[in-house]
Amino acid sequence: MSQPDARSRASSSMISIHGTSAKAIAITFDDGPNPEFTPQMLNIFSEEGGRATFYMTGDQIERYPDTARLVHAAGHEIGNHSYSHPHLTELEEEAIRAELVRTSDIIRETVGVLPATFRPPYLATDAQVERIAHDLGLAVIGGVNGAARDWDMPGAKHILEASLAVTEPGSILVFHDGHGDRSQTVEAVRELVRALKKEGYSFVTASELLQMD
């Protein structure tokens, strides 16, 4: 996983924070499902309460459909993260649409529900990517805590502190449950959820957050 392309986010409609008076945030995970780390993320919310959003790639769902079903059965949201995790801004329109449609179809075939939200790989987006996503009924979701860089394994302490520093009501936080060793992320998210729970935060899916006033 590489650094998100900040240039591609300029003037975009990607949502990283949603204005709400509720003390609620959306914790999200990319690049799964992963049979080792995704269940560990599920255990955190089973123990502490709340729901999360898992942005899955189509190819990973095909590899681990039972893990995807586990996420859905636990009441969490599954979002579209493309099929093969390309830089969508470098593709032609037909190829972009194929990446999103194929993954939405796989999600529907695997868990029986079409996704309502989409996260661009690498958070790389532009007007064309967002238009196609919106045409398919997908809200484009970003995240406020890119400085956490959990994909680089900078240490659980860094992931935790960088995420806490930017969390406020309506924040969307991005982490990873796939693409390599995610043990630091598991540790950081566990501590994050506990700390924010003590502060009175609730944990909702991306779709639920977008519906809040």
The predicted pLDDT at position 196 comes to: 98
Residue from 18, 30, 76, 126 carrying the catalytic annotation:
30
Identify the pLDDT of residue 69. Answer: 98
pLDDT given at position 2:
42
C-alpha 12: how far from chain center: 18
Q: Residue 59 CA to chain centroid, in angstroms?
A: 16
pLDDT at 144: 98
* Amino acid residing at 150: D
Q: Which of 59, 41, 58 is nearest to 50 (CA)?
A: 41
Domains of the chain: 12-204 (3.20.20.370)
Identify the CA nearest to 25 among candidates 38, 15, 33: 15
Q: Are 193 and 35 in contact (CB under 8 A)?
A: no
* Per-residue confidence in pLDDT tens, the chain, 213 aa: 544 444 334 447 999 999 999 999 999 999 999 999 999 999 999 999 999 999 999 999 999 999 999 999 999 999 999 999 999 999 999 999 999 999 999 999 999 999 999 999 999 999 999 999 999 999 999 999 999 999 999 999 999 999 999 999 999 999 999 999 999 999 999 999 999 999 999 999 999 999 998
Helices (H) and strands (E) in the chain, counts: 8, 7
So what's the pLDDT on residue 213?
82
Catalytic residue, chosen from 18, 76, 81, 176, is 176
Q: What is the structure's pLDDT at 12? A: 79
176 is catalytic: yes
